[in-house]
Amino acid sequence: MYQFFCDSNCELWHTTVNELGINVINMPYVMDGEEKLYDLGKEHDFKAFFDHMKNGGTPKTTALNEFAYADYFEPVLARGEDIYYISFSHQMSGTFNSMKLAIDKLKEKYPDREIRVKDSKSISLGSGFITYYGALKYREGATMDELDAYFDDLIAHTDVYFAVDDLTYLYRGGRVSGVSRVIGTLLNIKPVLHVDSDGKIVNVSKEKGFKKAIAYMFAQLKAKGTELDKYNVYVLHADNEEPANGLVSTIQATYPNANVLMQPIGPVIGAHCGPGTVGLIFHSNAR
């Protein structure tokens, strides 16, 4: 028997993970010198978080240490169960170095137990999308090997796009230069980011105006979306409901059989993309 784990960077809603019986590793961020753990929306004030950013607050993400990982994993191993952890992209954080140290020590202590880690090669509800459908397979009784095969296919068909409204936060994170930030802001350039097949965030378009950036994402859904009546479509926003609602309405009008869900972007992801961001996640013909 094994336990199914995810982390809060997958941004599945707290009620969903509870209903599915998923174990959650809560990922940290720091605001005003205070470390907090994202609770998947259970007690989080999203508007206050993004308002603070708009007023000059600069949240930072941090890595869990190896002892924190051990605290999550060891009780499961101690009672004789194995672990399957579907994680956010390993390309995006140094936290997995600490995780590996913890796992290596736990394997020495519990040599008969298995800890398997699967990289979703995605972030936010891209990782959540993959986690959600994997958890359904887990509940149906899938073995670890069966989950591996299922994830290999699903990961390759999960598309994630973000339209960023304010270049300030990409500049702080080193994703655009100071010159690009100034020129882009003056020209009202809105970048569209995509999570590629390696799990890296890449800039795929620079649109003049936020409406065109949203339209670009919808065009990707139309061009690449598959089985939209089978898999959820997620629209995300960082305190920017109006364009997010508009995107939801457009998708529903075009694909009346699609189950379109809207959700706020959490603080760990929001610390990097900034307020105003809108995201789109869907099942595609190829990432």
Q: Residue 178: what pLDDT?
A: 39
Q: Which of 121, 155, 189 is the last residue of a domain?
A: 155
Q: What is the pLDDT of residues 66-75, one digit of tens each?
A: 999 999 999 9
DSSP conformation class of 284: B
> What is the domain count for the chain?
2
Whether 55 is in a domain gets the answer: no
Q: What is the pLDDT of residues 109-136, one digit of tens each?
A: 999 999 999 999 999 999 999 999 999 9
Do both 142 and 93 map to the same domain?
Answer: yes
Q: Residue 177: what pLDDT?
A: 38
Do both 23 and 132 map to the same domain?
Answer: yes
Q: Is the dihedral of CA 23, 27, 32, 33 positive or negative?
A: positive
Q: Residue 83: what pLDDT?
A: 98
Whether 41 is in a domain gets the answer: no
pLDDT, the chain, mean: 92
Residue type, 183: I
Say whether 73 sits in a helix, a strand or coil: helix
Beta strands at 260-264 and 233-237: parallel, antiparallel or unpaired: parallel
DSSP conformation class of 225: B
Whether 38 is in a domain gets the answer: no
Give the number of other CB atoms < 10 A from CB of residue 138: 23
State the Cα–Cα distance between residues 116 and 101, nearest whole angstrom.
14
Do both 89 and 71 map to the same domain?
Answer: yes
Q: What is the pLDDT of residues 258-278, one digit of tens each?
A: 999 999 999 998 988 899 999
Do both 6 and 140 map to the same domain?
Answer: yes
Give the mean pLDDT of 37-63.
92
The range of the structural domain enclosing residue 115 comes to 2-27+64-155
1: exposed, middle or buried (C-beta count within 10 Å: 0-12, 13-18, 19+)?
A: exposed
CATH number, domain of 266, equals 3.30.1180.10
Half-sphere exposure of 63 (CA within 13 A, CB side): 13
Tell me the two tokens of residue 187. Answer: 């020209």
Q: Which of 108, 126, 155 is the last residue of a domain?
A: 155
Do both 146 and 174 map to the same domain?
Answer: no
Whether 136 is in a domain gets the answer: yes
Quote the pTM value. 0.93
pLDDT at 1 over 80: yes
Whether 42 is in a domain gets the answer: no
Residue 170 pLDDT grade (very low, low, confident, very high; cuts 50, 70, 90): low
Do both 170 and 132 map to the same domain?
Answer: no
Q: Which of 155, 172, 192 is the last residue of a domain?
A: 155
Q: Bigger pLDDT: 201 or 197?
A: 197
Give the number of other CB atoms < 10 A from CB of residue 134: 25
Q: Bigger pLDDT: 177 or 95?
A: 95
pLDDT at 232 over 70: yes
Q: What is the pLDDT of residues 211-228, one digit of tens each?
A: 999 999 999 999 999 999
pLDDT at 175 over 90: no
Do both 149 and 163 map to the same domain?
Answer: no
Whether 75 is in a domain gets the answer: yes
Residue 186 pLDDT grade (very low, low, confident, very high; cuts 50, 70, 90): very low
Angle between helix axes 66-78 and 95-109 (nearest 10 degrees) is 40
Question: To the nearest whole percent, how much of the chain has pLDDT over 90?
Answer: 80
Do both 11 and 130 map to the same domain?
Answer: yes
Q: Which stretches of the chain are DSSP H helices? A: 14-20, 46-54, 66-78, 95-109, 125-139, 144-155, 168-172, 178-186, 210-224, 241-254, 267-273
Do both 146 and 163 map to the same domain?
Answer: no
Is the Cβ–Cβ distance between 213 and 192 less than 8 Å? Answer: yes
Do both 122 and 7 map to the same domain?
Answer: yes
CATH number, domain of 93, equals 3.40.50.10440
Please tell me the total number of residues recorded for the chain in this structure.
287
State the Cα–Cα distance between residues 10 and 14, nearest whole angstrom.
11
Do both 19 and 119 map to the same domain?
Answer: yes
Q: Bigger pLDDT: 144 or 175?
A: 144
List 31's β-bridge partners, or say none: 34
